Amino acid sequence: MTASNNNLHYGPVLVLGATGKTGRRIVERLQDRGIEVREGSRQAVPAFSWQHPEGWDAVLAGMRAVYVNYAPDLAVPGAAEAITLLMSRAKAAGVEHVVLLSGRGEEEAQNCESIVQASNLTWTIVRAGWFNQNFSEGAFLDMVRDGVITLPAGEIGEAFVDVDDIADVVTAALIDRKHVGELYELTGPRLLTFNDIATELSRATGREIRFVRIPREAFSGALEEAGTPADVTWLLDYLFHTVLDGRNATLCDGVERALGRKPKDFSEFADQIAPTGLWSHAA
């Protein structure tokens, strides 16, 4: 693809977590622009796994830019070591630019941001908190279908952000040099409690969906009983018990600064999903 603007990059781009919520959307957006993409996942060839760094060099070879989405989250033990090693391998492979998906209000994630910033590669940091899509593609989907969202959350407001907004910002940061050195903290346009979320979902679906607060121990026990992987159980407990304490109960202008438009509201998200039948009663 021929560049028509000297400020633009045209790949190739490696997207880690290419089959996940953000990754698959970013892959689609880059491909729609005619940009060469390498999908980083365990199913791809060459395969990428955070647990198998011996395969990273083959995945990084020939890439100009990398989208880094550490799974399950930068807060989990071992993430900083993995990011340090990835930055070293990326630099050795000739990668120029890194876009890191980070977590709002997570000290461990901010430590990983510092590792990227000190890597001698150009970078863009994209911070985000709770996703709207947690209720349509993630851990809370079955709760919505059952009509009862049972979580250990109080009346703390959270600025839920839409994954499509995250993907738009990351895509822009991967292809346009004007985003180099920027830290974008992304939020939706308003704070919502989980009770507010239940109200929005009830309105959109036309049926009652309630929020019921449960004890922390009961939530963790239910996850373990359901066979949830230990690192995911740890992460969810961490997010509810530590991060959802009001530290993120603020709105930020990252979407508007990066894209020049307002972020998507949860009500718009709910109105888009409800007609698909995804939130119909569980079978």
Q: Where are the domains of the chain?
A: 13-131+160-187+248-263
Q: What is the pLDDT along the chain (283 residues), one digit of tens a residue?
A: 334 466 887 789 999 999 999 999 999 999 999 999 999 999 999 999 999 999 999 999 999 999 999 999 999 999 999 999 999 999 999 999 999 999 999 999 999 999 999 999 999 999 999 999 999 998 899 999 999 999 999 899 999 999 999 999 999 999 999 999 999 999 999 999 999 999 999 999 999 999 999 999 999 888 888 888 888 888 888 999 889 999 999 999 999 999 999 999 999 999 999 999 999 976 4
Q: Which residue has the tokens 């940091």?
A: 125
pLDDT of residue 282: 60
What stretch of H or E contains 148? strand 148-151
From the centroid of its chain, how far is CA 193?
Answer: 20
Residue 224 to residues 112, 129, 235: CA-CA distances in angstroms? Answer: 28, 24, 13
Domain 13-131+160-187+248-263, what architecture?
A: 3-Layer(aba) Sandwich (3.40)
- Cβ neighbors of 180 (< 8 A, separation 6 or more) are 97, 122, 123, 124
Phi, psi of 151 (to 5 degrees): -145, 155
Q: Is 183 helix (H, G, I), strand (E, B) or coil?
A: strand
C-alpha closest to that of 270 among 169, 128, 135 = 135
